[in-house]
């Protein structure tokens, strides 16, 4: 939701009636950084991969550049800024809520992890294996539901505020 709000804030050139398409892409891009959990949980790579390159300013910049130059009719810098910002919201929110670990915002310059430590975000998507090696995905389902509720509540509030400000600003011009 916060990624969608970032797109709504940047894409002031798009009418509110058609903005939902761009916001959907922004919301999806805001989730993409957590695909690094595939590296740690499914491929059994080191946990240090999580919240590393995909949670960095460099990653957000790369996403923004791809989005800006993806059009055939020439670059769309506003799309690049919107989608880069949407991607960056994930890293910023993870840095705010991570007590231990943090995020590698300045990767590849440094591996140092940054955190504000405001709230310990539960390890909702942790994958455990039983003695047969079978994956037990449903262990944190109750925690996942609680976290999703608060994410929707907070992200929804941010999105409503941004859309209301856009609508109000449109009436001023």
User: In this structure, what token pair is assigned to residue 131?
Assistant: 């003695």
| pLDDT, position 46 | 73
Could you check whether the bond before residue 108 is cis, i.e. omega within 30 degrees of 0? yes
Phi, psi for 128 (deg, rounded to 5): -110, 160
More confident residue, 104 or 169: 104
Tokens 């944190």, residue located: 140
Nearest to 3 by CA among 127, 130, 162: 162
Bridge partner residues of 135 (DSSP): 129
Helix (H) or strand (E) holding 128: strand 128-129
Give me the pLDDT at residue 147, please: 65
- Length, in residues, of the chain: 173
* 89-148 per-position pLDDT tens digit: 999 988 888 777 889 999 999 999 999 877 665 554 455 544 554 444 555 556 666 667
* Domain-wise residue ranges, the chain: 2-172
More confident residue, 153 or 81: 81
């Amino acid at each position: 939701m916060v990624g969608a709000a970032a797109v709504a804030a940047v894409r002031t050139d798009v009418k509110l009636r058609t903005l939902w398409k761009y916001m959907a892409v922004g919301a999806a891009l805001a989730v993409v950084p957590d695909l690094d959990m595939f590296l740690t949980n499914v491929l059994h790579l080191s946990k240090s991969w999580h919240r590393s390159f995909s949670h960095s300013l460099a990653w957000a910049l790369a996403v923004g550049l791809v989005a800006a130059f993806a059009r055939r009719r020439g670059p769309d810098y506003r799309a690049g800024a919107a989608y880069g910002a949407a991607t960056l919201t994930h890293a910023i929110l993870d840095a705010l809520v991570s007590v231990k670990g943090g995020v590698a915002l300045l990767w590849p310059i440094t591996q140092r992890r940054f955190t504000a430590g405001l709230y310990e975000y539960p390890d909702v998507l942790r994958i455990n294996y039983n003695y047969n090696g079978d994956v037990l995905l449903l262990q944190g389902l109750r925690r996942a539901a609680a976290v999703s509720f608060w994410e929707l509540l907070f992200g929804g509030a941010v999105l409503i505020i941004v859309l209301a400000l856009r609508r109000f600003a449109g009436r001023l011009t």
